[in-house]
Chains A and B, each alone.
Chain A
Amino acid sequence: GENVEQHPSTLSVQEGDSAVIKCTYSDSASNYFPWYKQELGKRPQLIIDIRSNVGEKKDQRIAVTLNKTAKHFSLHITETQPEDSAVYFCAASHQAGTALIFGKGTTLSVSS
């Protein structure tokens, strides 16, 4: 089955810096890669996703890149702000109606 590895497990940056979180997946049939942000005590929130027919997707300060050949995808956050502090999870699935397999999460701390 699918296995998703996520690095780093913790990331500390200064406000205004960029943050990059990387994930690798094992199942070449996977074609959907979402990223979730989870604040303390709250549910995971979908913040951006990418499908296998696209190499990059941007939404304001957040971008995701996908390298299908290498089976890895990354989340990029620019101009970080303290409110970006949270746990970020990557995930993968290989068709609509199938469950997501999650990475172990990255705790991002943005200090002002």
Chain B
Amino acid sequence: SAVISQKPSRDICQRGTSLTIQCQVDSQVTMMFWYRQQPGQSLTLIATANQGSEATYESGFVIDKFPISRPNLTFSTLTVSNMSPEDSSIYLCSVDQGPQGNEQYFGPGTRLTVT
């Protein structure tokens, strides 16, 4: 499976500021996904990022709050804008791999705390 890294691994931010999370993959992948995992909860999809097109956002998530870039087939960023304590969460990227394309593998996650 692909080797996926994320930066930063964790951060503590002040409310009202923004943080950009980077996701790097060691091979070219078509689809990248961004998930949020709030403490003790399941994974919730934020958006799907396909290289060369606008990201597709899930209900409850908007581009102004979570802008995403996908400049090439190995890299994506997620920005959490104008943060509030409710944004404190783990943010994970994942990529679609495997011979039939469904298998998803996750990055190590970015633990964000907003004070």
A residues engaging B (CB < 8 A)? 32, 34, 42-46, 49, 51, 89, 93, 95-105
Q: How far is the CA of A12 from the CA of B64 in the complex (A)?
A: 43
Q: How far is the CA of A38 from the CA of B45 in the complex (A)?
A: 17
Does the CB pair B42–A97 fall under 8 Å? no
Assuming A97-B31, A99-B33, A100-B45, is B104 touching A34 (CB within 8 A)? yes
Does the CB pair A96–B106 fall under 8 Å? no
Residue of A nearest to B33 (CB): A99
Does the CB pair A99–B100 fall under 8 Å? no
Type the 1/0 row for B35-64, where 1 means its CB is closer than 8 Å to any CB of A.
Answer: 000000111110010000000001000000
Residues of A near B30 (CB, < 8 A) are 97
From B44, B103, B107, A34 is in contact (CB under 8 Å) with B103
Give the 10 A-B CB pairs with smallest separation, nearest first.
A96-B101, A32-B102, A43-B106, A99-B45, A102-B43, A102-B42, A104-B42, A97-B31, A99-B33, A96-B102
